[in-house]
Amino acid sequence: MDVEIFRRTVKDRRRGASWELLQHMAKGIRACGDNPIMVNEHKTGDWTENEMEPTAKIGCMFGYGGSNQMHHTKGRRRDLVERAKKKGIYIITFDGGILSSFGNTITHPKHHWRVSLYSPMNNGDFLSDNSPSDRWEMMKKLWNIKNEPWRKSNQQDPILFVLQPKDNWSMNELDPIEWFKGVYDKLRPATDRPFLIRPHPNHMAHIEQRISEFPKDCKVIIGQKFFSGDEKKYYRFNFQEAIANCHAVVTHNSTASIDSCVRGIPTFVTSDLAICWDVANKDLNKIETPEYPDRTQWLYDLGYKQWTEQEIKDGTVFKRFKNKLGL
């Protein structure tokens, strides 16, 4: 079976983790006895309208793109997904792993990547429903994750707001400060708890310049600043420390919401793209009386939402998707 790999869903520089991941997937496809085809492998420069036209029964790409991101790499991804769905073609997509605050970072030797159909968020299909517990138990040991019950807070415990970058496709150009102001107007009349705001680490420099736009009764937490050789600013933030004594976490659809749910911190989300949607709170009016749903099956399913480089390279991942899809 031919399997198309859309190389131009990553940058043309032909290096980096995302580019290498597509090469690993090609090896995994061959290991299953199928034929990987690198679409426009050597093409560079401007994007032409029909270069993302899928023709095989199944294809692969990296990432996803928002409806407003049609003029660069993310736009190619969006175009590919829309064309594939119209033709009934499956597209496997990869993205960075979840549970990063527990240790699943890109530098970890056993970093796990998200693998799903069409989108790496809740609008994709990870084919992970009703999974067994084995992979989740493995990940718990790998990153020393403890099963903690939902936390019942004290009256003085704060609420942590997790912001996302405006240019992140899952925000769809929604300005994070404007998002916060809308949520603030709903929550402040309902609670007098301290409000803590954590900007995205890649967006802190931008938020740092706009701190005056936040209400005076909120504290913005700016992470520790580092500098690279070219004086580019980097920020680091210990998310596990930040949520340890929180009453709740509130975010749009950040993957950090997965970590807070795993940790047992009641988590409120305002978008159904959030992967924690099934165990999150959605009604901001219940900020003082959150629900505490059973997370057992959701945690088991998390284990089958992400896979190691080796599992991608040796064909484990592609074989699983082939079998699940009946190909």
**Each residue of 239-279: pLDDT tens digit?**
898 899 999 999 999 999 999 999 999 999 999 999 999 99
**Quick one: tokens of 285?**
């009016």
**Quick one: tokens of 25?**
């997937």
How far is residue 125's CA from residue 140's CA, in Å, rounded to a whole number? 23
The pLDDT value given to residue 47 = 74
User: What is the total residue count of the chain?
Assistant: 327
Is residue 214 a contact partner of residue 161, using CB atoms and an 8 Å limit?
no
Q: What is the CA radius of gyration of the chain?
A: 20
The pLDDT value given to residue 232 = 46
How far is residue 275's CA from residue 122's CA, in Å, rounded to a whole number? 5
Which residues are paired to 248 by β-bridges? 159
Instruction: Specify the CATH number for 159-291; select among 3.30.1360, 1.10.1740, 3.40.50, 2.60.40.
Output: 3.40.50
Q: Where are the domains of the chain?
A: 2-144+302-325, 159-291
Is residue 321 a contact partner of residue 28, using CB atoms and an 8 Å limit?
no
Is residue 13 a contact partner of residue 19, using CB atoms and an 8 Å limit?
yes
Q: How far apart are the first and last CA of the chain?
A: 9
Asked whether the CA dihedral 152, 154, 155, 160 is positive or negative, the reply is negative
Is residue 204 a contact partner of residue 235, using CB atoms and an 8 Å limit?
yes
- Predicted confidence (pLDDT) per residue in 63-107, tens digit: 887 655 555 677 788 889 999 999 999 999 999 999 999 999 888
The pLDDT value given to residue 229 = 47
Percent of the chain at pLDDT > 70 equals 92
Low-confidence ranges of the chain (pLDDT < 70): 66-72, 167, 169, 223-237
Q: Which pTM was predicted?
A: 0.92
The pLDDT value given to residue 222 = 72
The pLDDT value given to residue 69 = 53
CATH number of this structure's domain 2-144+302-325? 3.40.50
